Structures are given as structure tokens and as C-alpha cells.
Copies of this chain bind each other. A is one copy, B any other.
Amino acid sequence: MDIRQLRYFTTIVEEGQITRAAKKLHMAQPPLSQQLKALEEELSTLLIVRNGKNIELTAAGKVLYKRATNLLSQIDETIMEVKEVGEGLKGTLSIGSVKTCFSYLPERIRFFREKYSNVTFRLYEGDTYRLLQDLRNRHIEVAIVRLPLEAESDDLSSLPLPPDHFVAVIPETWNYENTLRLDELSSMPLMLLQRFKGVGQYELVIEACRKYHYEPNIVCQCSDAAMIMSLVREGVGASLLPRSVLHSFSMNGLKILELEELSIQSDSAVIWLKDRYLSKGAIKFIETFESEYNLNISQVE
């Protein structure tokens, strides 16, 4: 028995005719008849009753058809999966991240490359809007963004990342130690990261302060954390940033304070296109987040 013969057989059954099946299979009719006959001889049973115009399946034929279709789809799946694994563990993984989440990546990538050393990475940075575009373009497979997302995101799956607490970053020269009260915070000139679309941390901070009836004094919105850091270093003002962001920067001339009373936290997530093909490499990469922190894949509403 042969996979080819199974395909021939199922096509004949589905087309209800050998000639028509031969056309669909891009071959001449005689070889198809022969192959059917060969299959029948191998199984030493009649599979199809040829009575002039249209054909009829025997009991054995019905059994074979049922099992053959099943087998064929499993074979196709196998080919797909093996190819994916073959490529996925040695191809290129394209990942996007918003700036403030970049710090999540280096550790994972190192971890991943220890296991799958042939996977190379292509990293993109962009704002959430841009990253969603890139995801939908299939330009990247996975993105790391801050939550919440914009409204029409029900084509995405997501996996929440460990929440990131905001800390205050102030010039070293300022006279605060360890923690910062809310009233102290609201008296400072603040510089915040800005977001192009959707609800950003700008809104997050304002909302958190207003809950305690303070009005923050925001003097600058900036799209780049490095810029903010240097502004703070210059003594222009303070900033509120997710702690993870700070990893990447030199703390020279800066002081970090926990926030008293107020706990602003920012939720990040790994996101990817739901119900679309994901390379095995991407799946495995996502799993490195999953295993460590959260075991069920939630869905963005």
C-alpha cells in the first residue's frame, strides 16, 4: 500500500468517477485504473464496484475511505509539523517590543539560544500601534507590549508578564531618601513616557494620582526613556518609570525611590496573532514566558 494509492483512491471516491479523478490528479485515466486495481489486489478485496456510469463503494471500500481520509490528513499534518520544527528551531524569530518592555527580552533570548542555538533573532522596536501593524503584516510573529491594548484586538492572543511596578527616578542631588509620598510627588515637575495610541502610562499615572486627589505636575512627555533619564539627570524633574526599564540605563546621577501609598503598576504581555500560523520557534519562545510565570494563555478582550 502506498500513500499515493490512498490519495488516488479517495479522489476516485470523492469524484465518483475514475476519469474525473484522473483529471483532478493531473494524470491519464489508465494508470489510475491500474493503481486502483493494484490496491484492490493487494488488499485482496473489491473496493469499488464499477457499474457503468457511476461507481459504488463496497463495505471494504467504505472502511478504507474512512481510514484513508483520516490517514492522509494525519500525513499532511506530519509533514507540516516536521517542516515547522525543522525550520522553527533553526530559522529566524522576529520579535517586536515597545521600548519600555525591551528589558524582558535579553534574558529570554539568551535562555532560548542555549536550547536552540540555531535560532537567530530579529528584534524590532516600536510603539504599540506600529507593533500591532507588524504583527498583522506577519512582519513579526510575537510582540511585547504594555496593556491595555486598543479596542479592536480580538484577533490577538496574549500571555501576561510579571507586572512591573513604577518607581520614581529623581536627580541624585534631590533630598529624598528611599520612599516618596504622594504629596511630595505631586509637587515635583514630572516627565512621563508618552504613548502614540491607546492608553499609555501617562494616563495611568494621572489617574492613579487623581484617585488620591492630587494633580501631578507634568512638564514633559517624551517618547524615549533615555531622553527622560538624561533630563532627570540634569535635574529638570523627576519621572515615573517601570522598574524594569531602568535595568538598561546607567544610574549615574540618579536616585530611585519607591512610591508610598500609591502603587502604580503596569501590565505587560506577550501578544501574537490568534488562530494564525505560528512557527514552532515562536511557540517555544512564548512558552519560555509561560512556564516561568503564567500557565494559561489568556485572551485579550
Contact = CB atoms under 8 A, between A and B. Distances in A.
Contacts of A45: 82-83, 85-87, 280
A223 interface: no
Interface stretch (A61-69, A167-175, A180-188, A202-210): A61-69
Nearest to A92: B59
Interface stretch (A15-23, A70-78, A192-200, A226-234): A70-78
Contacts of A87: 44-45
A71 B64 contact: no
Given A2-B3, A277-B56, A277-B58, A63 B75 contact: no
21 contacts: A3-B3, A43-B82, A43-B86, A45-B83, A45-B85, A45-B87, A45-B280, A56-B138, A58-B86, A58-B89, A58-B277, A60-B82, A60-B85, A60-B86, A60-B91, A63-B91, A67-B77, A67-B82, A68-B78, A71-B71, A71-B75
A81 interface: yes
B43 A67 contact: no
B81 A46 contact: no
Secondary structure of the A side of the interface? Answer: helix
Contacts of A81: 63, 67
Contacts of A83: 43-45, 60
Question: What copy number does this chain have within its complex?
Answer: 2
A58 B83 CA distance: 12
A1 interface: yes
A7 to B, nearest CB: 11
A241 to B, nearest CB: 36
A123 interface: no
Interface of A: 1-4, 43-47, 49, 51, 56, 58-60, 63-64, 67-68, 70-71, 74-75, 77-79, 81-83, 85-87, 89, 91-92, 138, 276-277, 279-281
Contacts of A3: 1-3
A276 B56 CA distance: 11
Nearest to A48: B277
B1 A59 contact: no
A255 to B, nearest CB: 47
Contact of A59 (B58, B79, B85): B85
